[in-house]
Amino acid sequence: MLVRLRLIGGRLPATALVAVLEAAERFGDGRVHVTGRANLQVRAFPGVDGRLADDALAALESTGLLPTRTHELVRNVMVSPQTGLAGGRADLRPVAAELDAELCANPRLADLPGRFLFVLDDGRGDLLDRSCDLGLAALDERVAQLRVGARWGEVIPLARAAARLASLADRFMTQRGVGATAPWHVAELTVPLTPDVEPDPRLAAPTPALPFGAVPGGRHLPWPEAGLDRSAAAALLAGGVEELIVTPWRGVLIPGEGRP
């Protein structure tokens, strides 16, 4: 079986990466892969009829990256990788963590479609070209404009952003209905989730993907196409690296290295 482990904003503790590698060596192909949504993926795990073997599931839960069985499929939160490290208009790491907690605290949101995606741009524009169901773009350190499907929503304080996004996800569940024809994405709703709002003039223009190499706040490296094995992981974690950030460009940002 192929298993995805969702990372909120791509954040990956070094201890968790080592634990996932150990599980992959024991149960899978011995490598850790990444996705275009900045999540992890392990392959060739044992299971029957779409259900992981109990010991393999227990090994993945022990990594700390599977905090909830009920809501794991809906913890899709993409965040500007450099947020809080360098640049950007606001540090969105607290917003992302609060949003994850809000999603997991609402039993109804466990039934969100598995491809439902939240995208949080910290104002630098690096994720503005990413389609999303719900999200935001920071305008300064205090406020952000919501993204609602392909539309723009209201400007709100960042302190209320996580709760507002979770509330809109709950409203989506009400509007989509049930059954095989129920929409999977906000943009597919026949009635808009919120009134359409003009884009705020303070919004940044979309920026290109983060280049590989030395970047503000760290060093951005491509994830091995064949997957990360133990020796490659040891090289990434050399020097006492405590946390990595998997990026939406199938790379990994090592914080604190190579500050230009």
The count of other CB atoms within 10 Å of the CB of residue 105 is 11
Q: How far is 260 from 256, CA to CA, in rounded Å?
A: 11
Mean pLDDT calculated for residue range 25-29: 98
How sure is the predictor about 257, in pLDDT bands with cuts at 50, 70 and 90? low
Domains of the chain with bracketed CATH: 1-67+217-260 (3.90.480.10), 83-188 (3.30.413.10)
Instruction: Say yes or no to pLDDT of 45 above 90.
Output: yes
| pLDDT tier, 79 (very low <50, low <70, confident <90, very high otherwise) | very high
Res 77 pLDDT > 80: yes
Residue 260 has pLDDT above 60, yes or no: no
Q: Can you tell me the mean pLDDT for 234-243?
A: 94
* pLDDT averaged over every residue in the chain: 96
Angstrom distance (rounded) from CA 59 to CA 153: 41
Whether 239 contacts 195, CB under 8 Å: no
Q: What is the pLDDT of residue 259?
A: 39
196-205: average pLDDT: 97
Round to whole Å and give the CA distance between 137 and 185. Answer: 19
- Rounded Cα distance between 122 and 143, Å, is 10
Round to whole Å and give the CA distance between 162 and 144. 11
Between the alpha carbon of residue 229 and those of residues 23, 42, 59, the distances in Å are 12, 11, 17
Q: Name 213's bridge partners.
A: 220
What CA–CA distance (Å, rounded) separates 241 from 50?
35
State if pTM tops 0.85: yes
Q: Which of these, 65, 58, 142, 73, lies nearest to 103 by C-alpha position?
A: 73
